[in-house]
Amino acid sequence: MDKVVVITGASGGIGAALAELLAARGASLALAARREAELNAVASRCGERTLAVVADVTSRADVRRIVQAAIGRFGRVDVLVNNAGRGISRPPSQLTDEDIDEMMRVNVKSALYGMQEILPHFCGRGTGHVINVSSMLGRIPYVVTRAAYSASKHYLDALTANFRAEVQQTDPAIQFSLVSPGVVRTDFGMNARHGGPDSPQIPDAQTAEEVAAVIADVIESPRPDVYTRPGSRKRVAEYYKSVGEDA
């Protein structure tokens, strides 16, 4: 794979699994995360064609620095994977301003910054690919305690679709993809705001490696809207059929 790929949230979970998979396929990588020791450990496993950038993607300046560092090291970026994200465990009746703000900062603004900062580079080259890691909860709000997380992923889904519609009017070769996993066996649950269930203990959770394989396939064969589990698209359609009603 002769591509330069930037991955945020790369110090563990899906980001780390994707980095190791792409490195094995020959990609050059710029990996970004806040946790320096963990990030450097992932980078060391990925080999010499890997750049580690310690950064907080809720800061626009840091996201700009990630993009600039990747271009400075490799001369170009082919793919940006906005993977950083965080969950929350609190029912909607108890949500605070800071709960909502945190979900928007981590799950929406980080991706917005990434898309806006990489866009001039992609437009200058006439090609590029953004992959935003969303969630089934961005399609179906079926976990009450994840209300704010679900809402942030709904926002991300809409933002991605509208970014695609805008950019492809003038630059049709620039791709925008959404990848929507369900529950994944990572530290996501334990790291959620206000705590939460341990994701690996939830029945039928996917491995990070399974989700990474789907994302890698999207890099090779771009398409706009991808689920990581069979039957997910049907499940979404059935949900909206069950709650919808014509006027």
- Do 66 and 81 form a contact (C-beta atoms < 8 A)? no
CB atoms within 10 A of CB 173: 13
Q: State the Cα–Cα distance between residues 91 and 85, nearest whole angstrom.
A: 19
- Beta-ladder partners of 180: 227
Q: State the Cα–Cα distance between residues 18 and 20, nearest whole angstrom.
A: 5
Q: State the Cα–Cα distance between residues 129 and 38, nearest whole angstrom.
A: 26
> Would you state the structure tokens that stand for residue 100, as one six-digit string?
């909502």
Pairing between strand 4-8 and 225-227? unpaired
Question: What are the CA-CA distances from residue 191 to residues 52, 54, 67, 81, 87 (Å)?
Answer: 22, 19, 26, 21, 7
Detail the DSSP E strand segments found in the chain. 4-8, 28-33, 50-54, 79-82, 128-133, 174-180, 225-227
Q: Catalytic residue, from 149, 227, 239, 240: name it.
A: 149
Active site residue 155: no
The one-letter code for the residue type at 195 is: G
Q: State the Cα–Cα distance between residues 139 and 118, nearest whole angstrom.
A: 26
- Do 227 and 123 form a contact (C-beta atoms < 8 A)? no
Q: Catalytic amino acids?
A: 149
